[in-house]
Structure 1
Amino acid sequence: MDSSVVCTETFATDGCIMSGNQKIPRDVESDIESLYKAVPQLTKTFRIIDKIGEGTFSSVYLGEAQMRDGSRDMFALKHLIPTSHPTRIAAELQCLTVAGGRENVMGVEYCFRKEDHVVIVMPYMEHKAIVDIIGSLSFEEVRLYIYHLLKALRHIHQFGIIHRDVKPNNFLYNRKAKKFALVDFGLAQGTADTQIELLKDLVGLRKPSRPVFSERNLNNCASPTTTVKQETKTQLVKPVKTGALSSRSFPATARTQKTQRTVHLPLTCNCFQTDRVCNICLSRKQQVAPRAGTPGFRAPEVLTKCPNQGTAIDVWSAGVIFLSLLSGRYPFFKANDDMVALTQIMTIRGSRETIRAAKEFGKVVLCSRELPRLDLKVLCETLRGQRPEEGTLSSKPRVECKASDQRSETQVGKTPPLFLKSLDKKTAQPSLRKDCLTHDERGWDTVPDEAYDLLDRLLDLNPTTRFTAAQALEHPLFENL
Structure 2
Amino acid sequence: MVGGDVTGEIEKLYAAVPQIRNIFYVMGKIGEGTFSCVYLAVARLMSGEDRKFALKHLIPTSHPTRVAAELQCLTLAGGEDNVMGVKYCFRKNDHVVIVMPYLEHECFVDVLHLLSFQETKEYMFNLFKALKRIHRFGIVHRDVKPSNFLYNRRLKQYALVDFGLAQGTPDTQIELLKVLQTKKQGSCSQSNLHTISGNIPVPREVVLPSSTKQSVKRHWSYSQINPGNSGKEGLLGGSTQRSVFGERNFNVHSAVIHEVNAEKSIKQSKITDAVSRKLAARKSVAAKNTSGAVARKAASTCPTSMTCDCYARDQVCSICLARTRQVAPRAGTPGFRAPEVLTKCPNQTTAIDMWSAGIIFLSLLSGRYHFFNAGDDMNALAQIMTIRGSRETVLAAKQFGKTVLCSKELPAKDLRALCEGLRQVCIAPTSGTESDVQKHRAALQMRMVENQDGWFVEQTGVPPANTNKSYDCISSNANMDSGQSNLNGWDKVPDEAYHLLDRLLDMNPATRITAEEALLHPLFKDLF
Q: TM-score, normalised by structure 2?
A: 0.66
Measured after TM superposition, the shift of residue 279 of structure 1 is: 9.3
Q: 1:394 maps to what in 2?
A: 447
Aligned position for 1:462: 508
What is the distance in 2 between the residues matched to 1:416 and 1:272?
Answer: 28
What does residue 525 of structure 2 align with?
479
Say if 1:48 and 1:423 are closer, same or farther in 2 by CA, change over 3 A: farther
Write out per-residue CA displacement over residues 365-409 of structure 1, whole angstroms, 9 at most, x where no aligned residue: 11122111001011111111123413553388x9xxxxxxxxxxx
Q: Deviations over 1:81-112 (max 9, x none)?
A: 11000000000000000000000000000000
Any conservation in 1 of the 2:308–2:319 contact (CA below 8 Å)?
no
- Counterparts of 1:120 and 1:349 in 2: how far apart (Å)? 40
Instruction: Specify the SS of the correspondent of 2:359.
Output: helix
CA distance in 1, matches of 2:366, 2:50: 41
Partner of 1:120, secondary structure, is: strand
Q: 1:59 to 1:389 in 2, by over 3 A?
A: same
| Secondary structure of the structure 1 residue equivalent to 2:404 | strand
Structure 2 CA distance for partners of 1:65 and 1:366, relative to 1, 3 Å: same
Q: Are 1:337 and 2:411 counterparts?
A: no
Q: Give distance in 1, aligned partners of 2:119 and 2:322.
A: 51
Local SS of the residue matching 2:382: helix
Residue deviations 1:413-441, cap 9 Å, x none?
A: x98584336999xxxxxxxxxxxxx9734
Secondary structure, in 3 states, of the residue corresponding to 1:420?
strand
Equivalences for 1:2-401 in 2 at 5 Å? 23-205=1-183, 271=304, 274-275=307-308, 285-387=324-426, 388-394=441-447
Aligned-partner SS, 2:355: helix
* Alpha-carbon separation, structure 1, partners of 2:55 and 2:37: 8
Between Structure 1 and Structure 2, the one with more strand by share is 1
Query: Quick one: which amino acid aligns to residue 146 of structure 2?
Result: P
**One-letter amino acid of the counterpart of residue 166, structure 2:** A
Amino acid at match of 2:520: E
Which position in structure 1 is the counterpart of 2:467? Answer: none
Q: 1:359 to 1:150 in 2, by over 3 A?
A: same
Q: Which amino acid aligns with 1:298?
A: R
SS in 1 for 2:81: coil
User: Which moved further from structure 2: 387-396 or 121-130?
Assistant: 387-396
SS in 2 for 1:193: coil
In structure 2, what is the equivalent of residue 241 of structure 1?
Answer: none
Residue 278 of structure 2 corresponds to which residue in structure 1? none
Residues 142 and 395 (structure 1), Cα distance of their counterparts in 2 relative to 1, 3 Å cut = closer
Q: Partners of 2:505 and 2:355 in 1: how far apart? A: 6
Q: Distance in 2 between matches of 1:370 and 1:330?
A: 27
Q: Structure 1: any 5+ residue segments left out of the alignment?
A: 1-22, 209-268, 399-413, 425-437
- Secondary structure at 2:503 match in 1: helix
Residues 394/80 of structure 1: CA separation in 2 closer, same or farther (3 Å cut): same
CA distance in 1, matches of 2:10, 2:448: 51
Partner of 1:3 in structure 2? Answer: none
Q: Name the SS of the counterpart of 1:370 in structure 2.
A: coil
**In the aligned structure 1, how far is the partner of 2:54 from the partner of 2:132?**
25
SS of corresponding position for 1:135: coil
Shift of 1:159: 0.4
Paired AA for residue 402 in structure 2: K
- How far apart are the structure 2 equivalents of 1:392 and 1:480? 32
RMSD of the alignment, in Å? 2.7
Which of these residues, 478, 488, 499, is aligned with residue 453 of structure 1?
Answer: 499
Q: Does residue 420 of structure 1 match 2:398?
A: no
Contact conserved, 1:340 with 1:415, CA < 8 A, in 2?
no
1:394 corresponds to which letter in structure 2?
R
Question: In 2, distance between residues paired with 1:34 and 1:116?
Answer: 14
CA distance in 2, matches of 1:204, 1:184: 22
Alignment check: 8 A CA contact 1:106 1:182 kept:
yes
* C-alpha contact (below 8 Å) 1:270/1:278 kept by paired residues: no
Unaligned runs of 5+ in 2: 187-301, 310-315, 427-440, 462-483
Q: Partners of 2:322 and 2:494 in 1: how far apart?
A: 51
CA distance in 1, matches of 2:10, 2:368: 35
Could you tell me how far 1:50 is from its partner in structure 2? 0.7
CA contact (8 A) 2:149 2:158 kept: yes
Output one character per residue of 1:116-146: Cα deviation in whole Å (capped at 9) or x when no partner: 0000000000001101110111000100000
Give the whole-Å Cα distance in 1 for the aligned partners of 2:135 and 2:392: 27
Alpha-carbon distance between aligned partners in 2 of 1:116 and 1:280, rounded to the nearest angstrom: 46
Mapped to 2, the partners of 1:284 and 1:354 lie a distance apart of 19
Q: Following TM superposition, by how much is the alpha carbon of 1:68 offset from its aligned partner in structure 2, in angstroms?
A: 1.6
- Residues 296-339 of structure 1, C-alpha deviation per residue, up to 9 Å, x if partnerless? 00000000000000000000000000000011111111113101
* 3-state secondary structure, aligned to 2:341: helix
Aligned length: 371
TM-score, with length taken from structure 1: 0.73
Give the match for residue 237 of structure 1. none
* 1:51–1:59 Cα contact (<8 Å) kept: yes
Looking at structure 2, the residues matched to 103 and 79 of structure 1 have their Cα atoms a distance apart, in angstroms, of 25
Secondary structure at the residue paired with 1:52? strand
